[in-house]
Structure formats: structure tokens, C-alpha cells
Amino acid sequence: YVNTNWNSLEYVYCSDAACTSKSNPIPIDSGLSPDPRYRNIAMTVRANGSPVVVYIKNNWIYTVVCADITCGTLSVYRDNSLLTITAATNEYPKIAVTVGANNLPRVAVANDHNLWTGFCVEQLCSYISWTRLTPLSGTTSPITLAQNGIGIQPQFGSTPWIAWREDSNIKVLHCTNDYCTTAIDLATISDPDIETHTVNRPSMVLGSDGFPMIAYHAYVQSSTPRTSLIRYFHCAGAVCTVPGAKTIDTEAKDIGFNWPEGSFIPSISKAGGVGGVPVIAYQDADKHLKYAYCTDDTCSTVVKNEIVSGAGSQGHYPTIVVPFDGNAFITNGVVGATGIQGNTYVKCNTLS
């Protein structure tokens, strides 16, 4: 995260799955004035628990690779290949990162209507090899990478999937090799009930069958008051056919488009290990953090709980992960009258 002065990128790790204690903030990059800021920060962890952080600084893409979970020793790399800002629109790229074969980071960037994938050529990520996969025709929102893991159907190996928003659709792409130098544009997922340009922020994890489970935010077409939806679909096969998106939650409130950017962004993970079910964290229209879980990959039954309410606006930029005990861990931002006031975390003790 970025500190409140916007001049330092910091990292914190917990002592256990419930985060009963945590480390002091560890600076991993510093020295910026309030603008330009650190932007579009993405993080993943390698097999030993060490974080890999990718972000924008002074319009360049930076990668930080920590030696271990304490991040006492780290390697910082600035990529000189992709100038990240689009001058015509002042639009910063969307970034996602995961870890692939040989514990090497994989990065995806949607920049200036192009989709790029890159892989670190060695463990310290001193060089990223980039491939331009496909031009993007419309407006994009953050892309998400997911790697096949233990228990996934072996014919898919460990090759990445990528999902992003393009205009009013969600695109799903499957790389044909672990380094993602080539890919198949598997599917364009349209939602006929949704207004143009209001399908937002897809978040993806792979199901027990190895196919993507994706949650996203959208608005119902021509409803009065406008209805905000959290939607979900599960790719039914390698060509990502979708029988139909499911509604996880709906808020019958005309919220408009003037809420902070973090509003309603869903985050999806998988509870209960390899054969687990999708779990989703998001912000509702009452500015509360909510949690939902499905009983199976197709989300035939949804169970929802409001887990954080109170003063300020809760649930901004939620991130949900599932540690080894199989129950969700959620972080989210709290917004007050003066802007972001801090982050809170929630550790679930059960699936519900």
C-alpha cells in the first residue's frame, strides 16, 4: 500500500492466518512527491511466501522481488520497455501479476489499448521479456491473471488465463504456454441485461475443474432507480462458454457514477482448498463490506453476509484471499470525509 503522504510504498505481513499481530510497515520504495504517485499496485507471493510487487512510478513499471516474507532484502527493477502513460488520454495502464513455472513472476499490462504479457527471465526479475498479445478496441479495466495450481486438470499445465473488461464485455484469454508468448482469444462474454460501459472490474480465480470463475460489477439496463449488481460466471469448458451470468447481489439504489473509484469492486477467491467454492468480497450500495460464498462452481446457491458496517464508507478496494485454514481473509479501505482513512481486515472463522 501507499502511505498517507503518498511518498512511500510500504509492506506489512501478519504473524498468522488471523493476523493477530503484524510487522511494522516496511518501506519497499520511497522518495516520491505527492504527484506523480505510485499507481496501480499489484502483488502476489512466491512459494516461500516472499512478495512480488509490480507498480507504476514516474510513468514506468517497477518490480520489487523480496527474498523472504520479511522483505529485509529486496531487488528493485525498472522496466525500460513499456512507457506506461498514454499521453492522449492520461490513462495509466492496468496491471496484474502472478507466479508461474520455476517460481518466476508473470505480468500482464493493458496499456494504450494493447494487451502485453511479460515474464521475469530469472528470480530477481532484472529483466522482463514482453509479448504483445492483442490490441484492445475499447476502454479497459484491471486485468486479472490466474495460474492453474495443484489438482487442476493436467492437460492445461500451468498456463495463465487473463480476463479484462473491453467496452461493455468481458474478455477471457488462455495462454498456450507458460510464458504466454502466444494465446487463444477464447471468449467475449456479453451480458445483455447490462448497460454499455458499466461492466467493471472483473476478478478471476480458477475453479476445481481448471476453468475461470469470474466476478464483476455492473448496472442493470434502464432500471429506475438504477440497480447495482455483483455478477458471476463460471467458464463451462476450455472455450469458456457461459450458460448465463448469475447475480450475487443487487442494490436497488440510484447510486450514480460519482462514488469513489473503489466502490463495488468485487474480489474473488476460492475457499476450502483445491476443490473449494468461490468466495466474493465487495462493497454494497449502503457503503458496507459484504461477503458471499457459493455452494458450487456454478454458484447455484449464494449465501451473503454483511460483515463490516459503521462510521465512514467501508469496503473500498476489497481483496480476498484464502490461507491454509480454508477460510477467507479480507482487507478493505475505509473512506471518510477527508478521503481514505485507513485499511481494515477481517478473518473469517468459517466458510459462512
Nearest Cα to Cα of residue 105 among 176, 38, 180: 180
Task: Answer for the pair 84, 118: CB distance below 8 angstroms, yes or no.
Answer: no
With cell 504479457, the residue in question is 117
What is the b/e burial string over 17-32, where b = at least 16 CB atoms within 10 angstroms of the residue's CB?
A: eebeeeeeebebbeeb
**What residue ranges of the chain have pLDDT lower than 70?**
32-36, 82-92, 111-113, 135-142, 147-158, 167, 185-186, 192-198, 220-226, 243, 251-265, 272-275, 309-312, 335-341
pLDDT of residue 11: 92
Read off the pTM: 0.84
Q: Is the peptide bond before 36 cis (omega within 30 degrees of 0)?
A: yes
Strand partners, 86: 91
Spatial separation of the C-alpha atoms in residues 134 and 115, rounded to whole Å: 5
Spatial separation of the C-alpha atoms in residues 343 and 3, rounded to whole Å: 11
Spatial separation of the C-alpha atoms in residues 42 and 62, rounded to whole Å: 11
Nearest Cα to Cα of residue 145 among 91, 97, 80, 84: 97
Which helix (H) or strand (E) element contains residue 322?
none
Alpha helix locations (H) across 188-294? Answer: none
Task: Answer for the pair 347, 332: CB distance below 8 angstroms, yes or no.
Answer: no
pLDDT of residue 65: 94
Task: Answer for the pair 244, 194: CB distance below 8 angstroms, yes or no.
Answer: no
Q: Which three cell numbers stand for residue 218?
A: 455492473
- DSSP secondary structure string for all residues of 203-226: EEEE-TTSSEEEEEEEEBTT-SSP
Spatial separation of the C-alpha atoms in residues 146 and 205, rounded to whole Å: 6
Task: Answer for the pair 287, 302: CB distance below 8 angstroms, yes or no.
Answer: no
pLDDT in tens, 298-325: 888 988 888 876 666 777 778 888 887 8
Spatial separation of the C-alpha atoms in residues 74 and 65, rounded to whole Å: 6
Give, rounded to a whole angstrom, the gap between the first and last alpha carbons of the chain.
28
Nearest Cα to Cα of residue 49 among 22, 70, 63: 70
pLDDT in tens, 260-312: 344 456 788 877 655 678 999 888 777 788 889 998 888 889 888 888 766 66
